[in-house]
Amino acid sequence: MYIPPYRTLFESGELARRAEQLVAMLTSCNICPLDCQVNRLAGEISRCYSARLPIVSSYCPHFGEEPALVGTHGVGNIFFGNCNLKCSYCQNFEISQRWKEERKNEVTIQRLAEMMIELQEVHHCHAIGFVSPTHFVPQMVEGILEACRMGLRLPIIYNTNCYDSVEALHLLDGIVDIYLPDLKYSEDEMGYRYSGVKEYAQHSRAALQEMYRQMGRELVMGEDGLVKRGLIIRHLILPNDLAGTRETFKFIASELSPIVTLSVMSQYYPTNKVSDDNAEKFESLLLLNRRIREREYDKVLDMLDEFGIENGWAQDFESQDYYRPDLADRVAPFKR
């Protein structure tokens, strides 16, 4: 039976020490690469519009993740509100970019812990998945600490946009069981143009290297056939190759390992700021104002062979037709 390493950290007192270190970072917030330096403990807010308390938009058993995570009872996902990125095409913009509405969803650390226990004991989920956790890492760890006192024993999934601080990730070593980063761009220009952040490629690659250092290249599977520990890198195909997929795959294969597990997503569709009305106002958004074409999809799959990437899944091309907004459940392994 898999026992998450955070249980050992909890019993030794190290988990509490890590929580204290992370919370201290909120006094002059540098919890992500934006490095806003506001005192969130005093209620100050900046780019992520989030102060001391975590914002939870929803929590539920979720069946739209990768097959080796979902199993029969799903992942117990906890969706944090707001985000440190402002992606113009965000498919969850209702909770990631409407901060005034989301402030009403603040919860206490105790309540966050209760959500984890409910997902474990009532819904029998296979893991706890934190979605968009980057700006709430300290609160997440505080919640895990409290939930440990209540008997939490499920693997922790860190589902992130990959614009993470290496310092914060280092403190998550042994706390997170499964990293699930979405590697968005290979060029800083695209990160600034479409997600509003500087040096996305630099920071995301540094974050990935830290995740890889912690997890290694191969997944740890449980007796139930589900992933218990490891790194799964997601990559969303964008129209006109704005994601820079070739360079992304090259980085993964050469700087990490071609054996790393990759999840290729074809679910992109125009929404949020790249909907028709907005895209007409801004020329740069017009490049995103369509779904991906089948030849773009096929080209990405060919690149998997080119770089020797063998492990993972690829969504069907048709995923873009029915994705609203769960990760499509029709995914096929591309392991060869």
> How do strand 331-333 and strand 75-80 relate by DSSP bridges?
unpaired
pLDDT class for 335, splitting at 50, 70, 90?
very low
Name the residue ranges covered by the structural domains of the chain. 5-333
CB 167 within 8 A of CB 146: no
Cβ-count burial of 151 within 10 angstroms (0-12 exposed, 13-18 middle, 19+ buried)?
exposed
| CATH superfamily name and code, 5-333 | Aldolase class I (3.20.20.70)
C-alpha closest to that of 74 among 178, 226, 183, 191: 226
- Which residues neighbour 165 within 8 Å (Cβ) at sequence distance 6 or greater? 30, 31, 32, 33, 203, 207
N- to C-terminal Cα separation, the chain: 29
CB 42 within 8 A of CB 157: no
| Per-state percent for the chain, helix, strand, coil, to nearest 5 | 45, 15, 40
Give the C-alpha separation, 36 to 107, whole Å. Answer: 23
Tens digit of each residue's pLDDT (9 = 90 or more) over 10-49:
999 999 999 999 999 999 999 999 999 999 999 999 999 9
C-alpha closest to that of 106 among 145, 64, 56: 56
Tens digit of each residue's pLDDT (9 = 90 or more) over 252-308:
999 999 999 999 999 999 888 887 666 555 667 889 999 999 999 999 999 999 999
